[in-house]
Amino acid sequence: MSEESSPRRLLGPWSASAVVVASMIGVGLFTTSGYALADLGTRPRVLMAWAVGGVVACFGALSYAAIAKRFPESGGEYHYLAKMLHPLAGFLAGWISLLAGFTAPMAAAALGLQAYLAPIFGWSSEGRGLATAAILLAFAQHGFQVRTGVRLQNAIVGLKLLGLFGFLAYGANALEVNATGIAVSEPSGAFPVTAFAVSLVWISFAYSGWNATVYIAGEVRDPKRNLQRSLLGGCILVTLLYLALNTLFLYAAPIDAIAGQADVAAIAAEHLGGSVLQTLVRLLIALALLTSMSAMMMIGPRVYARMADDGLFPAYFQARSGNFRHAIFLQTVLALCVLWWSQLANLLGYIGFTLGLSTATTVVAMLLHRRKEVSAWEVTGYPWIPLLFVFSVLGSSTFLVLRSPTEAMWGLLTVVSGIPIYLLMKRRPSA
């Protein structure tokens, strides 16, 4: 039996695309614009940053689609860099996935859920109780049976999209009736290049997830066709949705009401339809964040299990009869630790910077590898699309180092800390 028809390839094109959409539509969408507006000062600048971020993400999706065609197996950057550069590079990418790719984003999504859902019950948005329960719920969904978790994931993603499009339609109509927010004049001044670049790093976190299916490529049917469809199709859909929703968020309320705020969607909903609509939107966003966390709980453990299969992670975390329970448990424990240790605003910069290093390195490795095996690669827009992706990501990351060195420092420490662990694991007899 060929590998592509293997029974373990359970995910069709919709399931693969749903993983991308669920991974992308998360805490970044519902929190980033408030922080970006505080830095950039005007709504058009914020929307420009979202548009640029979407284009960069689509460039990344096209580049990764070429890599996924060449290596249609699970593991993401860990698998790709080990194949194209060196096992150490692959391990460091897997280490980044463990800490910055899934653990920290799960904690960030849980914090966003706390900020949106807690006010409904009169609880503190700074607490951690609801956030903790959300992580445990994601563990319960995927920690026992793969097929059941996937079906539930697909259903909730569909419900989430219906809710977001419904809110968008209602909000667009309400803005047309009451356009006071649009009529407010925008502040003027010199274009803040550094602040714009840093905002792109935050927004890149909101777009992270465009590469979600490469982590579970070994479970996707007909990967050479469905992987590219899911990556690019999901990325385009989410980019358009992001631009529409953020236009609504930004113009529904005065600038002073949303600048620097985390729950910008709830503030916009209150201005559009009062407390009832605000409550409904809070519940919808809580659902969206739950699906984002669920997707990360589904994807991340596949990477750790693959590392365990290769002897670069303890064998305890290998998949057993198609079940990733041990790796999922590890993901849960680490996410809870980060949740109780971090703040949302700091996590956004750290995650965007660290993941940017990983994705840019992967695309650079693809460009180098293609020079050795030209006939084996099909790269859309070669070499300009991959190069534009790399320069955009690294350029924004450089500005973050200058503007927020602490977040960049933690990102670099994440990478460096993986080196001694790799050397230790390589010395094990089973490696």
| Angle at the Cα of 355 from the Cα atoms of 284 and 221, rounded to 5 degrees | 70
Residue 172: count of CB within 10 angstroms of its CB: 13
- As a whole number of Å, the CA-based R_g of the chain is 21
231-260, pLDDT tens digit by residue?
A: 888 899 999 999 999 999 999 888 889 988
- 209 closest CA partner among 235, 243, 183, 173: 235
Name the least confident of 62-76, 101-115, 315-329, 355-369: 315-329
Q: Minimum mean pLDDT among 105-109, 192-196, 201-205, 213-217: which range?
A: 213-217
φ/ψ (deg, to 5) at 320: -120, 110
**Under 8 Å between Cβ of 101 and 204:** no
- Residue 319: C-alpha distances to residues 95, 163, 328 (Å): 18, 35, 10
The model carries a pTM of: 0.81
pLDDT digits (tens, 9 = 90+) for 67-81: 988 888 877 898 899
Out of 123-137, 174-188, 322-336, 385-399, least confident range = 174-188
Tokens of 79: 């698998």
- Counting other chains too, the contacts that 404-410 makes at CB distance below 8 Å and 24 or more residues apart are 404/198, 404/349, 406/346, 407/346, 407/349, 407/350, 407/353, 408/349, 408/353, 410/350, 410/354
Calpha distance 129→125 (Å, rounded): 10
**pLDDT for res 10:** 64
How far CA 303 is from CA of 35, 102, 148, 226, in Å, comes to: 32, 10, 20, 20
pLDDT number for residue 4? 41
19 vs 181, higher pLDDT: 19
pLDDT of 209 over the 60 cut: yes
**Length in residues, the chain:** 431
- Taking alpha carbons only, the member of 109, 114, 112, 107 closest to residue 128 is 114
For residue 181, pLDDT beyond 50: no
Q: Which two tokens stand for residue 65?
A: 């689609």
Integer CA distances (angstroms), 137 to 172, 270, 367, in order: 34, 29, 40
CA–CA distances in Å: residue 314 to residues 307, 317, 428: 8, 6, 10
> What pLDDT shows up at residue 414?
92
pLDDT of residue 429: 59
Residue 380 has φ and ψ, to the nearest 5°, of -65, 130
Which amino acid makes up residue 78?
A: Y
Poorest-pLDDT segment among 138-147, 212-221, 294-303? 138-147
Neighbours of 23 (CB within 10 A): 29
Q: Six-digit token pair at 172? A: 């667009």
Q: What is the residue-averaged pLDDT of the chain? A: 84
Which of the given ranges, 114-123, 192-201, 378-387, has the highest pLDDT on average?
A: 378-387
Residue 2 has pLDDT above 60, yes or no: no
Domain ranges of the chain: 3-426
Region 376-383 average pLDDT:
88
Q: Which residue has the tokens 């999706």?
A: 61
pLDDT tens digits, residue range 254-268? 888 998 888 898 999
* pLDDT of res. 3: 43
- Listing DSSP states for 290-323 in one string gives HHHHHHHHHHHHHHHHHHHHTTSS-GGGS-BTTB
Confidence of residue 174 (pLDDT cuts 50, 70, 90): confident
- For residue 420, the model assigns a pLDDT of 93
Say what the pLDDT of residue 248 is: 92
User: In the predicted model, is pLDDT for residue 153 greater than 70?
Assistant: no
- pLDDT average, residue stretch 402-421: 89
CA-wise closest residue to 5 among 224, 228, 310: 224
The tokens describing 93, both together, are 């990418």
**Helix 87-96 / helix 77-84 crossing angle, nearest 10 deg:** 160
Q: Has residue 179 got a pLDDT over 60?
A: no
CATH fold label, 3-426: Amino acid/polyamine transporter I (1.20.1740)
111-131 mean pLDDT: 86
Task: With cut-offs at 50, 70 and 90, classify the pLDDT of residue 183.
Answer: very low
Tokens of 25: 């539509």
Structure tokens at 130: 């609801």
pLDDT above 90: percentage of residues in the chain: 27
What is the C-alpha separation between 229 and 16, in angstroms, rounded? Answer: 9
pLDDT at res. 6: 42
Six-digit token pair at 249? 């968020």
Whether residue 143 is predicted with pLDDT greater than 80 in this model: the reply is: no
